[in-house]
Amino acid sequence: MKSPTSNADVHIEESLPAIAADAAETFVRLSQEVQAMGKPFRVALSGGSTPKLLYGLLSSDTFRGEVAWDNIQFFFGDERWVPHTHRDSNFKMANDELFSKVDVNSENIFPIPTEEVSPDDAAAQYEATLRQVFSEGSEVPRFDLIFLGMGADGHTASLFPHTEVLHEREKLVAAPYVEKLTTHRITLTPVVLNSAAEVLFMVVGEDKAPALREVLKGEYNPDEYPSQLLREAQGNVTWLVDSAAAGKLREA
Ligand code: 6PG
């Protein structure tokens, strides 16, 4: 049985803007620390709605000037099986809110392929890209920072309950067919998520309170609550949650 919060540092904040500001400050601090060692800062972005404010904040006058954008490599934790121009595309959201507004080098942005390939080939291509860019041979790529969200069902990235990818211990990237969404997703596997130096979850909303309590304090059951897989993380896991999402954490 895994310790409920053995590696999780939970910060309860009053609102999404406060979470976004905290996440932006963390991004700036970590990027400066890594770049000070003469290395590119390698980050995987999450999708969905929660991080949109963070990306907008990073590209705002408040933070844009604090970041050496030309020495950051951007990847994605997962992607929907739609074109990068589609309104549901995680790449589109990050491009609209961030990449299009800062001086990041386009060759340092690594979207997950979603067109003119099969889902499995897209996953294989992205895995090859990870291995090539991280050039650590057979070693698992170790991101400096991975942003994650959590669904009301406890999923994270595109690791959904009761899917085979939850048990993946070899591949870096997979293309699960998600029955409940009737679509494929492309996702980093637990292997990569758990090798990151820092993982930063952002979770808001009352609808997520039951799952968050199970993920952080419940019996270890990652098939039911996939975000629990991050209890195996080798690095630091920080949860930035609002009081609504944290509403059941104090329950016995
Ligand atoms: C995605 C995300 C997914 C997301 C959660 C939470 O592609 O949708 O990677 O894991 O983080 O579903 O989504 P919200 O932030 O929209 O609640």
For residue 97, count other CB atoms closer than 10 A to its CB: 18
CA end-to-end span of the chain? 18
Q: Which residues pair with 198 in a beta bridge?
A: 236
Give the closest residue to 222 by CA, choosing from 194, 195, 183, 243.
Answer: 194
Give the closest residue to 146 by CA, choosing from 190, 212, 91, 98.
Answer: 190
Low-confidence ranges of the chain (pLDDT < 70): 1-7, 136-138
The per-residue pLDDT for 4 is: 46
The per-residue pLDDT for 244 is: 97
Give the closest residue to 138 by CA, choosing from 65, 76, 195.
Answer: 195
Helical pair 90-97 and 51-58, crossing angle rounded to 10 deg: 30
The per-residue pLDDT for 8 is: 83
pTM above 0.95, yes or no: yes
Contact call for residues 112 and 91 (beta carbons, < 8 A): yes
Q: Which residues pair with 159 in a beta bridge?
A: 156
CA 133 to centroid of ligand 1, rounded, Å: 25
Classify residue 61 as exposed, middle or buried by CB count within 10 Å of its CB (0-12, 13-18, 19+).
exposed
Contact call for residues 57 and 20 (beta carbons, < 8 A): yes
- Identify which of 78, 87, 159, 207 to mutate to test ligand 1's pocket (most ligand atoms within 8 A of the CB): 78
- Identify which of 155, 186, 208 to mutate to test ligand 1's pocket (most ligand atoms within 8 A of the CB): 155
CA 137 to centroid of ligand 1, rounded, Å: 30
